[in-house]
Amino acid sequence: MHSFHYQNNQLACESVRLQDLAESYGTPLYVYSSHTVTDHFRRLDRALGELAHEICYAVKANSNLAVLRLLAAQGSGFDIVSGGELYRVMQAGGDPGKCTFAGVGKTQDEIAYALHSGIYSFNVESESELRTIDNVARTMDRKAPVALRINPDVDPHTHHYISTGKSENKFGISIDRIMEAYDLAASLPGLEIRGLQMHIGSQITEAEPFAQAVAKVLPLAEALKRRFPLEFISIGGGIGIVYRGSLESGDAVWWHEGEARHALTIEQYVQAIAPPLRRLNLRVLLEPGRFLVGNAGVLLTRVLYIKRALEKTFVIVDAGMNDLIRPALYDGYHEIVPVCRQPGAGTEVVDVVGPVCESGDFFAQSREVAQVAEGDLLALMSAGAYGFSMASTYNSRPLPAEVLVSGAEHRLIRRRQNYADLIAAELEAEEVEA
Ligand SMILES: *Cc1c(COP(=O)(O)O)cnc(C)c1O
């Protein structure tokens, strides 16, 4: 469920009209519903029930401090992929002792920073990384808690850019080499084996790949448990969300290639993973990103021009691929709806495009959307995950502002960048100011 609804043909986030926010803060503007974030966290937490578990929110999905603070207040841990994300978590009051550090390319500085901060576990992706963490830990006279990331070689049936658990992906260590890697870890005096980890991909919309992956690593987890004082198994994130038809149908139905099928519910997900994990009797870590924040956000944009070309009609909006790159990068689909609905208005097949000088700068191609006029406001739905966190200033476009809504209240949680922000880190600018 999410908290975006029409009230008298006006799209609202919880009880706040999006038109009012666009008028106060300008566009493009990200708006998030705090209720949706906390509701999704609690639903997952509740569905896991008695299973000993810890939800470690994947910070990269949306790393605004206010979002991190919301989740920290729910008791969430955090899955981080860089020193910068750890810094954000701690600035937001998150507990580093509930942080897991993932990623194939951790630098020595990042490792030292994480170790110094007291993170819960390094999720290690290669033998070389084990040696580096061991070295850093020994220079600091510490023991680094580690888990190894297993690549279970299952197909998550998702876009190839966000599949991570197949043998051809750069992530993790294959099952046939993992025991050797654990032996190496056990032999290094700066390391302390704490768990095992996997993450098979993102935007996974069926329970089956999760069940397969758990079934595949279970015997290994049992074997490891007999040899090492294992505390946890992390099964990663990847729970898919509804992008198509989410506004009309709540979260009940997936629209996929014109063919309706049921969404992956949180209960189905838990049903697929929990029974075997319960028998394993380890603490279970989950690392959802998109599931917690994806449907909690929209990107508001204003129509600048309507351009009727020979073959197509282009709706040119003031948000671009620098603000939301998912369509260009992953063929990501975002529903596009008017912020103020005109009763009885028709539809039109159009391309919705941004102002950036790239042909990949589009939000929809040949899509039937409600008829719009220049000056109208549109909402790109389900933009809470991998939206702002992937935004850039390409074309020297200042980063958009972000607003967090809670009931009838709202708060600016990131101001819009200005032109001075764009050049602030450039040395020539510093010299000019000095
Ligand atoms: C990106 C990532 C996640 C989160 O993925 P979602 O699809 O957003 O749930 C979890 N764990 C790891 C290791 C990741 O890299």
Query: Quick one: pLDDT at residue 244?
Result: 85
How much distance in Å is there from the Cα of 355 to the middle of ligand 1?
30
Any atom of ligand 1 within 6 Å of the Cβ of 288: yes
- Name 432's Cβ contacts closer than 8 Å, sequence gap at least 6: none
Decide: 80 and 287 in contact? Cβ < 8 Å.
no
Decide: 33 and 2 in contact? Cβ < 8 Å.
yes
Any atom of ligand 1 within 6 Å of the Cβ of 201: no
Q: What is the pLDDT of residues 60-81, one digit of tens each?
A: 999 999 999 999 999 999 999 9
Give the confidence band of 88 by pLDDT, cuts at 50, 70, 90: very high
Any atom of ligand 1 within 6 Å of the Cβ of 61: yes
Nearest ligand 1 atom to alpha carbon 290: 8
Query: CA-CA distance, 110 to 136, in Å (whole number)?
Result: 10
Query: Quick one: pLDDT at residue 409?
Result: 98
Q: What is the pLDDT of residues 142-199, one digit of tens each?
A: 999 999 999 998 988 877 777 777 777 788 899 999 999 999 999 999 999 999 999 9
SS3 at position 205: coil
SS3 at position 90: helix
Across-strand partners of 409?
Answer: 406
Nearest ligand 1 atom to alpha carbon 162: 7
Query: Quick one: pLDDT at residue 255?
Result: 37
Model pTM?
0.94
Give the pair of three-digit tokens for residue 378: 């549109």
Nearest ligand 1 atom to alpha carbon 102: 13
How much distance in Å is there from the Cα of 348 to the middle of ligand 1?
36
Q: How far is CA 288 from CA 243, 285, 393, 416, 423, in A?
A: 17, 10, 27, 28, 35
Query: In whole angstroms, what separates CA 403 from the centre of its chain?
Result: 18
Residue 13 among the catalytic residues? no
Any atom of ligand 1 within 6 Å of the Cβ of 236: yes
Given a cut of 80, is residue 46 above it in pLDDT?
A: yes
Any atom of ligand 1 within 6 Å of the Cβ of 85: no
Given a cut of 90, is residue 19 above it in pLDDT?
A: yes
Burial profile 34-57: b = 16 or more Cβ within 10 angstroms, e = fewer: bbbbbbbbebbbebbeeeebbbbb
Least confident interval from 75-79, 129-133, 200-204, 429-433: 429-433
What is the CATH class of 34-291? alpha beta
Domain-wise residue ranges, the chain:
34-291, 295-423
Given a cut of 90, is residue 261 above it in pLDDT?
A: no
How much distance in Å is there from the Cα of 238 to the middle of ligand 1?
6
Q: What is the pLDDT of residues 222-252, one digit of tens each?
A: 999 999 999 999 999 999 998 987 665 444 3
Please give the single-letter amino acid code of residue 184. Answer: L
Q: What is the pLDDT of residues 298-346, one digit of tens each?
A: 999 999 999 999 999 999 999 999 999 999 999 999 999 999 999 999 9
Ligand 1 pocket test: pick from 287, 290, 293, 386 the residue with the most ligand atoms within 8 Å of its Cβ: 287
CATH homologous superfamily of 295-423: Lyase, Ornithine Decarboxylase; Chain A, domain 1 (2.40.37.10)
Query: Quick one: pLDDT at residue 84?
Result: 98
Query: CA-CA distance, 20 to 18, in Å (whole number)?
Result: 5
Closest C-alpha residue for ligand 1 atom 1: 58
Query: CA-CA distance, 30 to 324, in Å (whole number)?
Result: 10
Closest C-alpha residue for ligand 1 atom 3: 237
| Packing angle of the helix pair 127-139, 175-187 (nearest 10 deg) | 20
Nearest ligand 1 atom to alpha carbon 234: 11
Nearest ligand 1 atom to alpha carbon 291: 9
Query: Quick one: pLDDT at residue 429?
Result: 60
How much distance in Å is there from the Cα of 286 to the middle of ligand 1?
9
Query: Quick one: pLDDT at residue 23?
Result: 98
